[in-house]
Structure 1
Amino acid sequence: STTMASSTTGDGVSEAQTGKKSKKTKNQVDESELLTVPDGWKEPTFTKDDNPRGLLEESSFATLFPKYREAYLKECWPLVEKALGEAHIKTSLDLIEGSITVCTTKKTFDPYAIVRARDLIKLLARSVPFEQAVRILQDDMACDIIKIGTLVRNRERFVKRRQRLIGPKGSTLKALELLTSCYVMVQGNTVSAVGPFSGLKEVRKVVMDTMKNIHPIYNIKTLMIKRELSKDPELRMQSWERFLPKFRHKNLAKRREPKKKTVKREYTPFPPAQPESQVDKELATGEFFLRESVKKRKKMEEVKVKQAEALTKKQEERNRAFIPPKEKPLMKKTTKAPTEGKLDIEAIKEKVKRAKTKKLGAPPVNPAPPTSSTTDKKKKKAKSKG
């Protein structure tokens, strides 16, 4: 019952034929023009009573499968035979050639069963597991194998875009599967999808856009909005353009203005002036009429001036290595507190002397008591003076 907004076109056709003016807006369409399906309606199954005589000719399809798929096909082959046996279709697996063949039998009554069997073997060859591939035998199921190998030339770019479709840990692919109710398998240069027709259409659009460098998240966002809008019966007759997001394509890589601009010169019919020769320049400055000795002297002076400039430059460069860099003070200078009184230097000196004498083991230096010999000498001196 999900009707898309894209089908609401051609609203002006009935008005032009009848010539009547309707009060409906541009976005609205007459409901009789829409193809609607009743809720819960299902296509009746094709039985043997519909085709009792069977098929006139035998039809067959074959497909090749890669070598790495051989082990899995061997394992699930009895299940494949059983599933196709119910539709009266004969299958054969050729491991030497690497091919699977399906063909109709005399008992086959459904003419479309062989096409479903062909799709089943295609999916099995494209690495789709049997549990998902067998769903193709149901009436409301279809499959789509999208070839993406030739859409991008650069191999590295192709691998990046294919990985973008899968997403981190397969999250983008899982979101796409939930929204479209399809099983999607990205394998090599193809994308295989199994599900209802409406879902397959959306899957193909997302895959193709991803390969055209449009991120799948944009399409997933629009699908989510469309799913919510389809639940509202009032919006069924209206256009959904106003609800859907519009993503602008920003190409930041391209510059609007070129990096190197070339300015076109004005066209002049006259050729450019001939460049002046060395003689012309000398004539203009007056050097041409000077003597050879004067010319040489002038040239030597010019050379000496240039040499002096070069020498001073070189000397400056050499001296740079000897210029010390400015050092930052490690700690801030603290103002020392003023001492209360002057230090007694003499007292400190005596302390140091005592410490030294103690270390040497000498007796402390004390004033010695006067001996008898010294007293006699003093007395004699006193007498002689008297």
Structure 2
Amino acid sequence: MDAKKKKERSSERGDATDGKLDGKKKGKHDKDKPWDTPDIDHWKLDKFDPKWNDGGMLEESSFSTLFPQYREKYLQEVWPLVTSTLKEHGIKCELNLVEGSMTVATTRKTRDPYIIVKARDLLKLLSRSVPAPQALKILDDEMQCDIIKIGSLLRNKERFVKRRQRLLGPNGATAKAIELLTGCYMLVQGNTVSAMGSFKGLKIVRRIVEDCIKNIHPIYHIKALMIKRELAKDPELAEQNWDRFLPKFKKRNVKQKKVKEQKKKPYTPFPPPQQPSKVDLQLESGEYFLSAELKAAKKREAKKEKQEVVLAENKRKREAAFIPPKESKKVERSSDAGEQGNKSITKSDVSVMAESLKKKVKGMVAAHGTADTKGVDAYLVAPSLQNDKKLKKKITEDYATEEPRKKKRRKVAQED
């Protein structure tokens, strides 16, 4: 008997070693199945057929959830739509405004056993301010939801509000970018983030949201997702590692304010000396022994002095507006000063000019034997009029007329 068992075991081991997959030994029941072909998509979700469960549910299953008071009015308006949609799947629902709760339960007409879980998710989304038309999409088989709790990730309320706002971005731009890249619907409400989409997209959304609350900006994830989307279009890079293409952001240490270290005072077992009280100070200054009238008079004087200082300061400020600004001194030359300057200049210069002219005239007399000093005397008599243009013109004309006469006289004298 023992020999037979050993043979059977060895034969089983031989069968197991014959069918190897990826270098691993296959177990006793892990064998190739003739109906399992490569063209089969194992991840495909077939639509539920009611014929698969003709008998229905054996027992009733129900879920209920509470909703905030501000959602009461909206839920009342939308509840007929929710009721009619759930009725198609054989689910009954109830809205209790007294307790503030919503309840869903299976009926005898319910065929899909998983639809009650979908109805439970629908109630969660409705209570988290997701619009009803969007929340009803959760009843589809391919749509999943995830409610991310972010309220307990951070203690400081101000930081939490600031980082939660990063998820939305300016005018909701960041949230819209996340929705387009992940293919998921996202709604930030209070201490939770509601997301709807595929399992793969929800996983990415959860990582982005949690990292954002941990002080990692969503723009880094958005940039990486955009690069991955472009790389996925290239069939050559499908089986390669994409790490070399993805950006690597280094964490920078932001300079923080240096806390001033307070020097510890040396320890002394004795307590510090007691500070003098108000009565002690009055005793030292002698104010304690003054009568009530003198004390009041002293207070009035101190108050009056303060008022006088304030009044003087206010008066100075008011009068400052009426003080004229200082003007810059400009040197203006008057007409009298100009005339005096011209006179001083002419007096000093004319004497020199007169001597030079007289010397020239004497030289001319010696050379030509004529003593005509009429032009020179006229020039010296009226030196102040030498700038007159008319006088200059007249002198030049007289000189031009006298020149040929002199030439004629010289010729006559030479002939004689």
Provide the TM-score with structure 2 as the length reference.
Answer: 0.54
Deviation at 1:232, TM superposition (A): 1.5
2:215 pairs with 1:210: no
Cα distance in 2 for residues equivalent to 1:75 and 1:84: 16
Q: CA deviation at 1:334?
A: 10
Identity fraction in percent: 59
Question: 2:112 aligns to what?
Answer: 110
- Matched with 1:120 is 122
Go from structure 1 to structure 2 and tell me whether the alpha carbon gap of 1:118 and 1:259 turns closer, same or farther (over 3 Å shift): same
- Residue 247 of structure 2: which of 245, 248, 264 is its match? 245
Give the drift of 1:342: 2.0
1:325-377 per-residue CA deviation (whole Å, 9 max, x = no partner) reads: xxx99589899997672289xxxxxxxxxxxxxxxxxxxxxxxxxxxxxxxxx
| 2:91 counterpart residue number | 89
Amino acid at match of 1:112: Y
Q: Which residue does the alignment assign to 1:371?
A: none
Query: Deviation per CA, 1:26-76, whole angstroms, max 9, x where unpaired?
Result: xxxxxxxxxx9989x952211111111111111100000000000110001
**Counterpart of 2:170?**
168
The one-letter code sitting in structure 1 at the alignment partner of 2:93 is: T
Cα distance 1:238–1:121, how it changes in 2: closer, same or farther (>3 A)?
Answer: same
Match of 2:147 in 1: 145
**Once the 2 structures are TM-superposed, how far is the Cα of residue 84 of structure 1 from its aligned partner?**
0.7
- Select which of 173, 178, 181 maps to 1:179: 181
Alpha-carbon separation, structure 2, partners of 1:333 and 1:202: 83
- Give me the whole-angstrom Cα distance separating, in 1, the residues matched to 2:252 and 2:199: 33
1:279 aligned partner:
none
Structure 2 distance, partners of 1:153, 1:145, is 20
Match of 1:190 in 2: 192
Q: Does 1:43 align with 2:39?
A: no
Alpha-carbon distance in 2 for matches of 1:334, 1:15: 109
2:343 matched to 1:342? yes
Greater helix share, structure number: 2
User: What is the rounded CA distance, in whole Å, between the counterparts of 1:100 and 1:42 in structure 2?
Assistant: 33
SS of the equivalent of 2:145 reads: strand
Structure 1 position 231, deviation (Å): 1.5
Which position in structure 2 is the counterpart of 1:66?
Answer: 68
SS of the residue 1:342 aligns to: helix
Once the two structures are TM-superposed, the CA of residue 171 in structure 1 deviates from its matched residue by 0.7
SS in 1 for 2:343: coil
Q: After the TM superposition, which residues 315-354 of structure 1 pair with which residues of structure 2 at under 5 Å, given as runs?
A: 341-342=342-343
Matches of 1:50 and 1:261 in 2, distance apart?
77
Change (3 A) 1:110 1:165: same
Count of aligned pairs between the two proteins: 247
Aligned equivalent of 2:134 = 132
Classify the secondary structure of the residue corresponding to 2:75.
Answer: helix
Match of 2:102 in 1: 100
Aligned positions of 1:347-366 closer than 5 A: none
Distance, in Å, in 1 between the alignment partners of 2:93 and 2:196 is 21
Letter in 2 for 1:341: N
Secondary structure of the 1:57 match is coil
Q: Matched residues in 1 for 2:194 and 2:156: separation? A: 22
Distance in 1 between residues matched to 2:115 and 2:162, nearest whole Å? 38
Q: C-alpha offsets along residues 262-291 of structure 1, whole Å, 9 cap, x if unaligned? A: 9xxxxxxxxxxxxxxxxxxxxxxxxxxxxx
C-alpha separation between the residues in 2 aligned to 1:165 and 1:207? 7
User: What CA distance in whole angstroms lies between the structure 1 residues aligned with 2:155 and 2:180?
Assistant: 31
Give the whole-Å Cα distance in 2 for the aligned partners of 1:204 and 1:37.
33
- Correspondence for 1:305: none
Q: Quick one: which of 219, 222, 240 aligns to 2:221? A: 219
SS at match of 1:213: coil
Aligned Cα root-mean-square deviation (Å):
3.3
Cα offsets for 1:110-145 (capped at 9, x unmatched): 010000000001000000001110110111100000
Inter-partner Cα distance in structure 2 for 1:49 and 1:336: 121
* AA in 1 matched with 2:73: A
AA aligned opposite 2:57:
L
- Distance in 1, Cα, partners of 2:253 & 2:131: 40
C-alpha separation in 1, matches of 2:62 and 2:122: 13
The Cα shift of 1:82 comes to 1.1
Instruction: Show the counterpart of 2:4.
Output: none
Q: Where in structure 2 are there 5+ consecutive unaligned residues?
A: 1-20, 26-37, 264-325, 347-416
State the match for 2:13 in structure 1.
none
1:227-306 equivalence runs, <5 A = 227-254=229-256
| Change over 3 Å in CA distance of 1:333–1:215 after alignment to 2 | farther
- Going from structure 1 to structure 2, the CA distance change for 1:240 and 1:332 (only over 3 Å counts) comes to farther
Aligned to 1:156: 158
Residue type of the partner of 1:155?
K
